[in-house]
Amino acid sequence: MTDIQIDGPSTARDKSHGKNKTASLYRMAMPGHLCPFGLKSKALLERKGYEVDDNLLTTRGEVDAYMDAHGVETTPQTFIGGERIGGFTDLKKHFGYRVLGKDETTYVPIIAIFGSTLLMALAIVLNLYDGFPVLTLLKWFFAISMVALAIQKLQDVGGFVNGFLGYDLLARKYVPYGYIYPFAELWAGVGMMALIGTGSALIWLVAPAGIFIGSIGAVSVIKAAYVEKRDLKCACVGGGSNVRLGFISLTENLVMFGMGIWMLGVWFVGT
């Protein structure tokens, strides 16, 4: 095993003083594994104007020796001014960044999905339609969003069902419905994309699915979040999200219901 010099706190302190701001970083960089958090720590320190004394731990033995010497359980480890800051999360906190807790509510997945689907709908409308038909833009936005949300659920159907069973009224009575739901949402979303602006009888293969799952979902969310006021995680973007059950999930279901009703209206007008 290659010997490595383990710097104690006093050595780290010496390296962290000087004319320029400096920091000592110890990170794992083995042939089979380059620690991403070590790279993130280095990049954050440099972004904050620090000259980084970058110490690479290139073997399992070096990593174990370093952790034993400093009484830590993980790498990377950062020292600033002789003080051990810790890993990447600790470094972010040191610089004043807000770090979300494991179970803390976040709406980042929702913003990412709806922001992307809105841009996609805008691109379609600008390329395929004359002028700027706002109602058509909304139809495309809703349909694409349904597909995107279905994809999120289909990545881990079992995880989705675990969260879905917490509040959906039909899934609690008939568990297989929870497994059917993501496929039904995908079916309704893709069908609506294919039939926007048409009066085809094929609408009858699509619209009822959106009306059915949308109405049941809306009633379930209203009961759980607004009547019973239960603090639950929403399964709308998959089973592993920290999105709170409430307005977002209710809107998703009302949109599916409304799009189904709209499609049937188009068919009746066309006939």
92-129: pLDDT as tens digits: 999 988 876 666 667 788 888 999 999 999 999 999 98
pTM of the full structure: 0.74
Q: Please report, for the chain, the start and end positions of each structural domain, with discontinuous segments joined by +.
A: 9-94, 108-270
Report which of residues 266 and 125 the model is more confident about: 125
Tell me the per-residue pLDDT of 177-211, one tens digit each, with 9 for 90 and over. Answer: 999 999 999 999 999 998 887 778 888 989 999 99
Q: pLDDT averaged over the chain?
A: 85
Looking at domain 9-94, what is its CATH homologous superfamily? Glutaredoxin (3.40.30.10)
Q: What is the mean pLDDT of residues 231-238?
A: 76
Residues in contact with 54: Cβ distance below 8 Å, sequence separation at least 6, in sequence order: 25, 27, 42
Averaged over 29-33, what is the pLDDT? 89
Count of other CB atoms within 10 angstroms of residue 33? 10
Q: How many CA atoms lie within 13 A of 61 on its CB side?
A: 5
pLDDT at 133 > cutoff 70 = yes
Residues 96, 104: Cα–Cα separation, whole Å: 18
**pLDDT score recorded for residue 262:** 86
Task: Find the length of the chain.
Answer: 271
What mean pLDDT comes out for the span 138-145? Answer: 92
SS3 58: coil
Q: Give the distance from CA 146 to its chain's centroid.
A: 16
Judged against a pLDDT cut of 50, whether residue 2 lies above it is answered with no
CB atoms within 10 A of CB 160: 24
Q: Tell me, what's the pLDDT at 233?
A: 77
Q: Which residues contact 114 (CB under 8 A, 6 or more apart)?
A: 145
